Chains A and B, each alone.
Chain A
Amino acid sequence: MFAVDLRPLLPALIVAVTALVVLLAQAFTPKGSRSPSMGLTATGLAGALLLSLTMAADARYGRGASTGGTYVADDFALFFHVLLIGLALMATLLSPAYYRENGGERGEYYTLMLFSLVGMLGLVSTTEMISMFVALEIMSVALYALAGTRRDQIESQESALKYFVTGAFASAFLLFGMALLYGLSGSTQLARVARGVAEAGPEQLPLAVLGCGMLIVGFGFKVASVPFHMWTPDVYEGAPTTVTALMAAGVKAAAFGGFLRVFLGSLSGRLPDGTYFSAEWIPALAALAAITMVIGNLGALAQSNLKRMLAFSSVAHAGYLMSGMVGQSEAAGQAVLFYLVAYGAVNMGTFGLLASLSKGGREPLSLQDVAGLGERRPALAAALTVFLISLTGVPISAGFVGKFYLFGAAVNAGYTSLAIVGVLMSVVSAFYYLRVVVAMYMREGEGEDAWAVPEASARLSLLVAVVVTLGLGVWPAPVLDLARAAALAL
């Protein structure tokens, strides 16, 4: 009998069903009362998180299972499942207060967020190019709409349009790369593509290299690496802050998940002449990583808007992550995965904190807006300080451990210059991150207190971010081990 193992799909299915329930619950809520969208979303996500953790615990519960060879629940996929569902849960807890202050809380918001999460989960779990494309699009199309959820605000609409045009453009490149690899190998299965590339003769190699290049362009857009980063500052600034948090933390992680699976997992095989195929794209990736770190950090220096500054910082971090990827080994995969956890928690915390301070449609966006925070909201100021020092990469924070491993991986692969650029640029980054800390503690706030008091759910989410950031900085070993196991599964 031909039986299909559907266990790997279960967490994504739970998330998708939750999305539909949230939508229906809204339709059946009587006029005048509020639909329990946030509660339902949080419950569904908690269930999916619990299930992913259970699956990761033992092979009996589906660890290592595969749905027809196209959708797997290996350690790599489950690592990302826990990370991505956790991040979505944090974003959900941060959302209600933000939307109450800024108007427009609707059930669709949660539904779209959940659909986007389904795409992210698919992107990191699939080992086949059709599913990978569909998953990427599920993630992206939901996000285009999410970026424009504040319909009254023209900035939000403009950011949705820019995200949509650049995102669709990038998808076309990704797809063309897939077409070339398919033409070369005759299959859309990544494992067969890997074999096809490894057996490619000299006359077919250009096709493989071109396909690879197109895929790098496509993924480069999604992870926001220079020169495909133009959309990032505009979209991060215009989108509602909680959506920006999800984009910066979740989408980046999922896109890197797909990037790693395709490139480290499939496109680094040994060619007939004994050289490795990865030698064809590693130098290009290293060059991209270097300019991404430089332009991201210099761009951030010039910003006065905090969301824009963090957007350029997100570009810079794509550079750090790519410089880790250049290492190609399991240690490199481990470094990237660990850093994605650290970076995800920190970014969710930073954007979430800005979102939960917004009051009456006004968000703290400039340095002047956070001046005096240290005196009037000491706990929040301390949390923001923790996030910013982690982004800089100061010891005892997760960012330091993460960067240490990333640059270590680059050095081991012989790209010492890349690590030097990374460290120098981290020093530059201290200037614009610490400028915010200085404004919080050293500058007097003007006029009256214009910040909201974050409610309990938002505080819980921020607390988790702080605990993860400091916890991984002080005791990184457990997550490093998990990241290593996940990287080995590639």
Chain B
Amino acid sequence: MTGSLVQHAVLLSVVLFTLGALGVFLRRNVITIFMCIELMLNAVNLAFVAFSRSLGTFDGQVLVFFVMTVAAAEAAVGLAIVIALHRHRDTLDVDAFNLLKW
């Protein structure tokens, strides 16, 4: 019973992770890309919690707290960078940020 629950949860987390990763490549808006990365991180959280439940150890659950904290810090810095860039260029389309290339 628990075994199959864990399998389903991990499968779901793989699906969510893949969706997030695809979104990073396919979306063009910086904020959406950022949300896709958050989706990937939360997919990982789901996997950690599921493994933690099946293994009966708490390390995974503890790690999830750290991931959430770090993701919040990352969001603060990331959004600040987006705002700073938006001041220079009135768009959030990644294709417009093309000054640096060969």
Q: Residues of A at under 8 Å CB distance from B?
A: 129-130, 133-134, 137, 141, 144-145, 148, 151, 154-155, 157-162, 164-165, 168-169, 171-172, 175-176, 178-180, 182-183, 186-188, 233-234, 237-238, 302-303, 308
8 Å CB contact of B73 from A137, A155, A188: A137
Indicate the size class of the contact surface on chain B. Answer: 35 or more
Q: Are A175 and B44 in contact (CB under 8 A)?
A: yes
| Chain A, Cβ-Cβ closest to B76 | A141
Query: Is A161 a contact of B62 with CB atoms below 8 Å?
Result: no
Q: Which residues of B contact A164 (CB under 8 A)?
A: 74, 77-78, 81
What separation, in Å, do the CA atoms of A154 and B62 have in the docked complex?
39
A129 to B60, CA, bound (A): 10
Given A162-B100, A186-B55, A303-B102, does the pair A130, B44 have CB atoms closer than 8 Å?
no
Chain B residue at smallest Cβ distance from A131: B66
Instruction: Taking A133-B70, A169-B37, A175-B44 as given, write out 19 further A-B residue pairs in contact, using a Cβ cutoff of 8 Å, ordered by the A residue number.
Output: A133-B67, A134-B70, A141-B74, A144-B77, A144-B81, A157-B85, A162-B97, A162-B100, A168-B74, A169-B21, A172-B20, A176-B40, A176-B43, A179-B47, A179-B51, A186-B59, A234-B101, A238-B100, A308-B102
Given the known inter-chain contacts A134-B66, A182-B59, A186-B57, please indicate yes or no for A158 contacting B78, CB distance below 8 A: no
**B interface, over-half SS:** helix
Q: List 26 A-B contacts (CB under 8 A).
A: A130-B63, A134-B66, A134-B70, A137-B70, A145-B81, A154-B89, A154-B99, A157-B81, A161-B81, A161-B82, A165-B78, A168-B34, A168-B74, A172-B17, A172-B21, A179-B47, A182-B59, A182-B60, A182-B63, A183-B54, A188-B63, A233-B100, A234-B100, A237-B100, A238-B99, A303-B102
Residues in A neighbouring B55, C-beta threshold 8 A: 183, 186
**Residues of chain B contacted by A302 (CB below 8 angstroms):** 102
Q: B interface vs A, CB < 8 Å?
A: 10, 13, 17, 20-21, 24, 30, 33-34, 37, 40-41, 43-44, 47-48, 50-51, 54-55, 57, 59-60, 62-63, 66-67, 70, 73-74, 77-78, 80-82, 84-85, 88-89, 97, 99-102
